[in-house]
Amino acid sequence: MKKVTKLAMFLLAGTLATGFTSCSSDDDEVINTTILTPEQQSALSQAASESRANANKTEMGKVVANYINEVVKPTYLDLAEKS
């Protein structure tokens, strides 16, 4: 029993020591800037919308859409109504 208590104490001490050293605030401040130009952003959003449209046309896209409409949405709507 004494060994179990010692092991638990060492584990707790190690966890606390690791937690304090890993949470230091020496990270540089992140500046929120966008890397993409407006033209690149619009091209990216256009490509994303085209890929969504193409996914709906493919067979797998139809399977996924059917799964979402027949299983996922009713399940979460039912959960929302019950809560």
Cβ atoms 51, 60 nearer than 8 A: no
Cβ atoms 15, 22 nearer than 8 A: no
pLDDT in tens, 36-75: 678 888 888 888 788 777 766 778 878 888 888 899 899 9
pTM (predicted TM-score)? 0.33
Classify burial at 38, counting beta carbons within 10 Å of its beta carbon; exposed 0-12, middle 13-18, buried 19 or more.
exposed
**Torsions phi, psi for 37 (to 5 deg):** -80, 165
